[in-house]
Amino acid sequence: MKRFEFWFEFASTYSYPAAMRVEHLVSGSDIELLWRPFLLGPIFGAQGWNDSPFNLYPAKGSYMWRDLERICVREGLPLRRPSVFPRNGLHAARVACWFDTEPWTPEFVRQVYLANFARDLDISRGEVLAELVRSAGGPAAAVLDRAGQPDSKQKLRSQTERAIALGIFGAPSVTVGSELFWGNDRLEEALAWARRDASQSD
Amino acid sequence: MKRFEFWFEFASTYSYPAAMRVEHLVSGSDIELLWRPFLLGPIFGAQGWNDSPFNLYPAKGSYMWRDLERICVREGLPLRRPSVFPRNGLHAARVACWFDTEPWTPEFVRQVYLANFARDLDISRGEVLAELVRSAGGPAAAVLDRAGQPDSKQKLRSQTERAIALGIFGAPSVTVGSELFWGNDRLEEALAWARRDASQSD
């Protein structure tokens, strides 16, 4: 079965609409969706950026917020510009990474994005994450405790290193084997690639 | 009549497929296409970049060349990675800017992009530009002479300043009034915006 690896970062604005629609998009195909949270901080840091490029480059940032607004209108998604940007998604990413195949994980991911970009909640806070795990159907206290353990921290570090090795430099991204697609506006192309690949290997 | 202002830079890779398809895309609509060459150099320079971000950030650059390759395959466009990147498009931009409404200009623009991204020619050279003007149906010697005059240089400078004032930070971009769209993958959305706008003001 062909794998569609969806790479996302909870602070990433364009990852929000992508995360909200990716499961529906891929469902009904023969393609397996894999959720791949990672951290952009180390990647941006290696480029000499200590902040989001949307803050460092104001013209690009202004455009992004307007573009995101148009996308959310089109997708019927709520959007409230976060009072803090970028928010620290480290703990949320550890949860999504360690528990990446739990039945509640996709809904947890969506709830985190809604918390950050529609509800203006601080997704770095334990109480906020606990509520989001619960609302997605997971055992909140056990999940947060487990996700804070050393092997969970290491798993997210390794996943970020794998992202870098795959050539990933931004979010959201999709990889199909070694083929890389970057951006919410490349999801359809990535899926078509996976399907073509799958039919060629039949 | 609603105006679709197409902003492009001859060194810009994603401007290539956009420039090749924009006239066909907009034709048949009630929308007026306006060709707006400008320079990214001063814009990038103001951000502290003295080179293309695709050279400064190698992971992004590698991705871009692969992404462009996929786009060109899909669009049926030839692509040969230029032996020099970015090429200096200053003289070509002066020609396209001063003569922006001549009947041969759209074809000249396309010929410059093909020269840069399919024929690997040095588009900064007068002989090359002369051939491209001629092949587009323009009076080459007179055009090149006229485009080198002070008022032509000033027109391109002013156009670049207007791009900055509109919030443009990359190419290709489209503006419909004050609404900005960035990227080859936003042309359809920009056109839909112009059409909606036009029908609302009827």
Q: Which two tokens stand for residue B132?
A: 């491209």
Could you report how far apart the first and last alpha carbons of chain B are, in Å? Answer: 10
Of the residues A57, A178, A184, the best mutation for testing chain B's interface (the one with the most B CB atoms within 10 Å of its CB) is: A57
**pLDDT of the residue at B69:** 98
Say whether pLDDT at A145 is over 90. yes
Q: Please calculate the CA angle B110-B112-B117 and round it to the nearest 5 degrees.
A: 95
Say whether pLDDT at A201 is over 80. no
Of the residues A70, A178, A179, A187, the best mutation for testing chain B's interface (the one with the most B CB atoms within 10 Å of its CB) is: A70
Nearest to B38 by CA among B184, B164, B197: B164
Q: Give percent of chain A with pLDDT exceeding 70.
A: 99
Sign of CA dihedral B71, B135, B88, B101: negative
HEC-encoded secondary structure of chain B: CCEEEEEECCCCCCHHHHHHHHHHHHCCCCCEEEEEECCCHHHHHHCCCCCCHHHHCHHHHHHHHHHHHHHHHHHCCCCCCCCCCCCCCHHHHHHHHHCCCCCCHHHHHHHHHHHHHCCCCCCCCHHHHHHHHHHHCCCHHHHHHHHCCHHHHHHHHHHHHHHHHCCCCCCCEEEECCEEEECHHHHHHHHHHHHHHHHHCC
- Bridge-based pairing state of the strands A173-176 and B3-8: unpaired
Is B81 near chain A, with CB under 8 Å?
no
What is the full DSSP assignment across A24-90?
Answer: HHHTTSSPEEEEEE--SHHHHHHTT-SS-HHHHSHHHHHHHHHHHHHHHHHHT------SSSS---H
Say whether pLDDT at A127 is over 90. yes
For A12-51, the pLDDT digits (tens) are: 999 999 999 999 999 988 999 999 999 999 999 888 889 9
For B69-88, the pLDDT digits (tens) are: 999 999 999 999 999 999 99
Say if domain B3-200 classifies as CATH 3.40.630.40: no
Residue B113 identity: Y
Q: State how far the Cα of B41 lies from the Cα of B54, in Å rounded to an integer.
A: 13
**pLDDT of the residue at A4:** 98
Of A59, A167, A170, the CB nearest to B167: A59
Residues from chain A contacting residue B70 (CB–CB below 8 Å): 189
Mean pLDDT to the nearest integer, A75-104: 98
ipTM of the complex: 0.93
**pLDDT of the residue at A198:** 76
Q: Where are the domains of chain A?
A: 3-200
**pLDDT of the residue at B19:** 98
**Lowest mean pLDDT: which of A132-146, A166-180, B37-51, B126-140?**
B37-51
Which residues make beta-bridge pairs with A37? A8
Which positions of chain B have pLDDT values less than 70? 201-202
